[in-house]
Amino acid sequence: MITIQIEGPDIAAALRRLSSGMVQPGPVMPVVAGILHDAVMENFAQSGRPRWQALKPATLAYKRKHGYGEQILIRRGGGQSLLSSITQQADDHSASVGTNLVYAAIHQFGGPIHMPARSQQAYYRQGRDGSVGNRFERRSRSNFAQWHERGAHTIEMPARPFLKLTDADEAKIVRKLLEYLAGRL
């Protein structure tokens, strides 16, 4: 059996402060949440750490045509984007970063997307000679529409984990926690 005996009011007071700092780490949790948020934003900026699987050429062409930019998982345009939905929270015992968008999980983990059979109208531009182009147009710019049938199919979405920490991110969090505990002494 090992026995440790501590004497003196200063040491006992320091240990009480240290103990209360471990039981209630509330003051450092917003800092940890900020580090988590910065790490997620860096994942978006670098298209993953390690890099995410590249977009398919057709998807990249669509993003370019519609002004969404070329970065993966970053949509510029109408509606809330995955990037802008990232929030951080902290309380007395925890720090977290996340999103409330339903489709975020398929991007984080990947997996199959089952598309049902459907029919939809596609819009084209018809030339003066009556020929119809093979490129889709916006409804407002088209002068020819045609219905198309699409059978049921499955799309395999690759995982692009945006809620991920690198070893350097984890080390930064540990360093901040240790600085906080050292400050309690």
Q: Tell me the HSE value of 54 on the side-chain side, using a 13 A CA sphere.
A: 5
Angstrom distances, CA of residue 38 to CA of 7, 18, 69, 166: 44, 28, 21, 12
pLDDT for 27 equals 85
pLDDT digits (tens, 9 = 90+) for 11-42: 566 556 656 656 567 788 899 999 999 999 99
Q: Where are the alpha helices (DSSP H) in 24-76?
A: 29-45, 57-65
**What pTM does this model have?**
0.73
